Amino acid sequence: MWTLSGFADEIDDDLETQCLLLGQLGLRYLEFRSAWGINVLDLADRELHEAEAILAAHDLQVSSIGSPIGKISITEPFEPHLERMRRALDVAELLRAPYLRLFSFFLPAGDDPARHRDEVLRRMAALTAEVGDRPVTLLHENEKLIYGDVPSRCLEIVEAVDSDSLRLTWDAANFVQCGVRPHSAGYQLLRPYLEYIQVKDAVLGTGEVVPAGEGDGEVAETLRALHADGFDGIFSLEPHLQQAGALGGFSGADQFARAHTAFVGLLHHEGIEYA
């Protein structure tokens, strides 16, 4: 049975409000990116404990920390970011999140990605090494304009780092916005390393983000293939239906509910059970 989660901060800044809608939709998990308008890594320990209590009161668990690790330019200093990674891992453990999302660094506009390959791989290996024996798995997301924005470079990263602590999360909309048809061009290549799916879709011609199944992200084809493969992971709603930017997006309660309806409609059509 597949597990549904979601970026609850796309509903509202207030954590209590986020939790109320998740409960109404029947979700038992959230992907924690921010609360009260503050990124999860910047919450004080006092605020994290308050968040923990609110989640417990609503019987919600954290599926992943939706961190911004790796969302800096490859030309920016790395050591301060490595320290931020340590904070991210502490937060993941405090909130008992089994996964932590990260990225492979923005590239200067117009640069050949190959020029930055060695530094990207060095940094990704260093970030992964920080996990050590912590009970956290890192998930590289294919954000546009970073090194790992297309399937071939996502594969290069995870194979070069070669660690059980680094796996991939799949974002169909981001692939579409890079001119890639996700299932056709990337599924077979990346499937061995996929553990987590971000749920959003986009239109190839314009890059507009739309609910799952309404764009060119080949969402239905990917769901069928994952089901046939015996995938048993997490699907995290990240609708971006009102606003989308480099550090996140926003949908509002109504549009988040619309995104949920669209995705579970696809699951029902395919006869896939979820919780």
Q: Above 80 in pLDDT, residue 249?
A: no
pTM for the whole thing?
0.96
pLDDT at 70: 98
Q: Which domain holds residue 258?
A: 3-270
What pLDDT, on a 0 to 100 scale, did the predictor assign at position 247? 61
Is residue 219, in this structure, part of any structural domain at all? Answer: yes
Q: For position 12, which CATH number holds?
A: 3.20.20.150
The total number of structural domains in the chain stands at 1
Can you give the three-state secondary structure of the chain, one letter per residue?
CEEEEEEHHHCCCCHHHHHHHHHHHCCCEEEECEECCEEHHHCCHHHHHHHHHHHHHCCCEEEEECCCCCCCECCCCCHHHHHHHHHHHHHHHHCCCCEEEECCCECCCCCCHHHHHHHHHHHHHHHHHCCCCCCCEEEEECCCCECCCCHHHHHHHHHHHCCCCEEEEEEHHHHHHCCCCHHHHHHHHHHHHEEEEEECEECCCCCCEECCCCCCCCHHHHHHHHHHHCCCCEEEECCCCCEEECCEEECHHHHHHHHHHHHHHHHHHHCCCEC
Q: What is the pLDDT of residues 1-50, one digit of tens each?
A: 899 999 999 999 999 999 999 999 999 999 999 999 999 999 999 999 99
In the predicted structure, residue 204 carries a pLDDT above the cut 80? yes
**Over 70: is that where the pLDDT of 163 sits?**
yes
In a domain, 275, yes or no: no
Residue 244 confidence (pLDDT) above 70: no
Mean pLDDT in residue range 58-87: 98
177 found inside a domain:
yes
Mean pLDDT of 61-89: 98
Answer yes or no: is 185 within a domain: yes
